[in-house]
């Protein structure tokens, strides 16, 4: 299945989604509480899915995509043509507005016109990446087609605002959860707070309930291992999934092949 991302999000799994879902078991409902760019969800295309994120404007954006894609396309188009006409000042105007009102349509616009497509928030939850001066962002006609495709693909998904524990509050042992939290080495770059110890407690909770999970986490970058010492009693398999080249290192002029960890609590 070929598809284009509707929103670019840091830590995207688009390049390895096809490999990740090969390890997934059968389930009644699919949970993904760190939805991000939604690449694994889109690749899997489950019949029943519940997805969430701590970043409320992101969840609002997904609901906007499903419920009123035409209005979202029109909003992006209007601002894109203003940017073309008046220059990068429009970008910073929209960034200020987003950091005040957190409108989902503004998040989409910023994600498609910011420097190197990298989503960044400061500790106050404010979007703080600058404008990508060498490109105008994706054309409205192109993005419009992508939005309509995703709107149709996401109709069976329930989106929830909140952290991973809130999103999965009603999960049962017939369900399955895929976790793609902020990585240990980069958690300070992402929206909201996240603690490794809390994640371990949550995995222990899933195990105690007999709920199957898959967890993407730090792996190997070039010749450096960034694998985190996840307690061995929490999982049964540890896979390394090739994810391509590090976007962070590439921006610094280095080229490193990255393998990300995938932990499974089942055989």
Query: 3-state SS of the chain: helix, strand, coil percent to 5?
Result: 40, 20, 40
204 three-class SS? helix
Q: Could you write out the DSSP letters of every residue in 26-61?
A: --SSEEESS-TT-HHHHHH--SSEEEEES-HHHHHH
Element of type H or E holding 261 = strand 257-264
Instruction: Give the mean model confidence (pLDDT) for residues 68-74.
Output: 98
Q: Which CATH superfamily is domain 17-54+162-264 in?
A: Vaccinia Virus protein VP39 (3.40.50.150)
Q: Could you write out the DSSP letters of every residue in 244-257?
A: EE-HHHHHTT---E
Phi then psi for 164, rounded to 5 degrees?
-65, -30
The 10s digit of each residue's pLDDT in 131-142 is 999 888 999 999
pLDDT class for 202, splitting at 50, 70, 90?
very high
pTM, whole model, 2 decimals?
Answer: 0.91
> Residues near 107 by Cβ (< 8 Å), separated by ≥ 6?
7, 57, 58, 61, 98, 127
Q: Which structure tokens are listed for 127?
A: 């979007």
Say how many residues make up the chain.
267
Terminal CA-CA length for the chain: 27
Is 253 exposed, middle or buried (CB count within 10 Å of its CB: 0-12, 13-18, 19+)?
Answer: exposed
CATH number of 64-152: 1.10.1020.10
**The dihedral formed by the CA atoms of 2, 182, 35 and 209, expressed in degrees to the nearest 10:** 120
Q: Which structure tokens are listed for 152?
A: 């149709």
pLDDT(124) > 90: no
Q: Which of 244, 236, 256, 266 is nearest to 17 (CA)?
A: 244
Please report, for the chain, the start and end positions of each structural domain, with discontinuous segments joined by +: 17-54+162-264, 64-152
Compute the distance between CA of residue 157 and CA of residue 53 in angstroms, rounded to an integer: 13
Phi then psi for 20, rounded to 5 degrees?
-60, -50
Q: Which structure tokens are listed for 210?
A: 């007999």
Check residue 207 and give its pLDDT: 98
pLDDT class for 244, splitting at 50, 70, 90?
low
Residue appearing with tokens 């349509």: 105
pLDDT class for 188, splitting at 50, 70, 90?
very low
pLDDT(252) > 80: no
Check residue 2 and give its pLDDT: 77
Residue appearing with tokens 């371990």: 200
Radius of gyration of the chain (CA): 18
Query: pLDDT > 70: what percent of the chain?
Result: 92
């Amino acid at each position: 299945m070929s598809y284009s991302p509707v929103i670019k999000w840091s830590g995207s799994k688009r390049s390895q989604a096809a490999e990740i879902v090969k390890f997934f078991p059968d389930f009644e409902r699919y949970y993904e509480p760190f939805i991000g760019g939604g690449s694994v969800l889109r690749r899997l295309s489950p019949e029943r899915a519940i997805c969430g994120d701590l970043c409320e404007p992101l969840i609002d954006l997904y609901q906007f995509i499903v419920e009123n894609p035409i209005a979202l396309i029109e909003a992006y188009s209007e601002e894109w043509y203003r940017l073309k006409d008046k220059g990068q000042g429009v970008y910073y105007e929209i960034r200020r507005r987003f950091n005040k009102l957190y409108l989902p349509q503004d998040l989409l616009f910023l994600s498609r016109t910011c420097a190197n497509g990298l989503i960044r928030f400061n500790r106050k939850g404010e979007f703080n990446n600058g404008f990508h001066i060498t490109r105008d962002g994706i054309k409205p006609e192109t993005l419009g087609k992508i939005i309509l495709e995703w709107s149709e693909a996401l109709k069976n998904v329930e989106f929830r605002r909140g952290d991973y524990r809130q999103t999965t509050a009603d999960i049962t042992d017939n369900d399955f959860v895929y976790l793609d939290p902020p990585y240990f080495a980069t958690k300070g770059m992402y929206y909201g707070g996240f603690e490794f110890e809390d994640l371990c407690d949550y995995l222990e909770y899933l195990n105690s309930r007999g709920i199957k999970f898959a967890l993407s986490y730090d792996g190997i970058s070039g010749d450096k291992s960034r694998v985190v010492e996840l307690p061995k009693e929490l999982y049964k398999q540890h896979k390394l999934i090739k994810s391509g080249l590090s976007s962070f290192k590439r921006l610094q002029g280095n080229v490193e092949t990255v393998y990300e960890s995938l932990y499974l609590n089942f055989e």
